[in-house]
A = this chain, B = another copy of it.
Amino acid sequence: MTNNPQEPGRKGLLIVLSGPAGVGKGTVCSHLRRISPDLVYSVSATTRAPRQGEQEGINYFFKSREQFQAMIDNDELLEWAQYVGNFYGTPRSFVEDMIASGRDVILEIEVQGALQVKNKYPQGVFVFLMPPSLDELKMRITGRGTETEDVIEKRMNVAIEELRMMRHYHYVVTNDEVESACERIRSIIAAEHCKRERLEPYLNKWLEGVTG
């Protein structure tokens, strides 16, 4: 065992990155992937058919509906949801295996899913991505296409409901600029690895060695 709990040998972390639709979770994650190649991205299970080029275990774990139902029944998913007739979920084993091997895992997910994960895996690090302003969020939501006023208003109401959920998160990061948001997330990950509570098992062993 290394003497330094901040070096390899330590356990990894699950970082859950969430926030309202339109806040830019995907953009932040892509940038994070480029600047932090060591981060592992959680791979979802799905019942939808693979699209061209999609690889098992890389893009998704492809499951039959029966297999997926069994995963739900056996509590093998940290969260799951149904979307346009297909099931999507986060396999617990993938996350736990990576963490046990010392890798940090990032899970990008919408707000409802994140709250499910928090119930099943409260030791995760829950980061809420916030728009710099409501106008900015509205611009991002309307900027997506040629939606009607009605649809936009509905989406805004959903986004506001989602914003209220930030009280369940450990950290709030403003997505003013992708680079600064990613730097803050990297700092959060580094700081969480220094948390005394997380290091307790290593530290106790170290202290035993010192005083034993």
Given contacts A4-B176, A132-B3, A207-B164, contact A170 B195 (CB under 8 A): yes
| A158 nearest CB across to chain B (Å) | 13
Interface residues on A, range: 35 or more
* Further 17 A-B residue pairs, CB within 8 A, beyond A6-B173, A171-B191, A188-B190: A3-B132, A4-B174, A5-B174, A7-B174, A130-B203, A134-B209, A163-B207, A169-B196, A170-B195, A171-B196, A172-B203, A183-B190, A187-B188, A187-B190, A187-B191, A188-B194, A191-B192
Given contacts A191-B190, A194-B173, contact A203 B3 (CB under 8 A): no
- Distance between Cα atoms of A112 and B183 in the complex (Å): 34
Can you name 22 A-B pairs with beta carbons within 8 Å? Answer: A4-B174, A5-B172, A5-B174, A6-B184, A7-B176, A127-B194, A130-B203, A134-B210, A166-B203, A167-B196, A169-B196, A170-B195, A170-B196, A171-B194, A171-B195, A184-B191, A187-B190, A187-B194, A188-B190, A188-B191, A191-B191, A191-B192
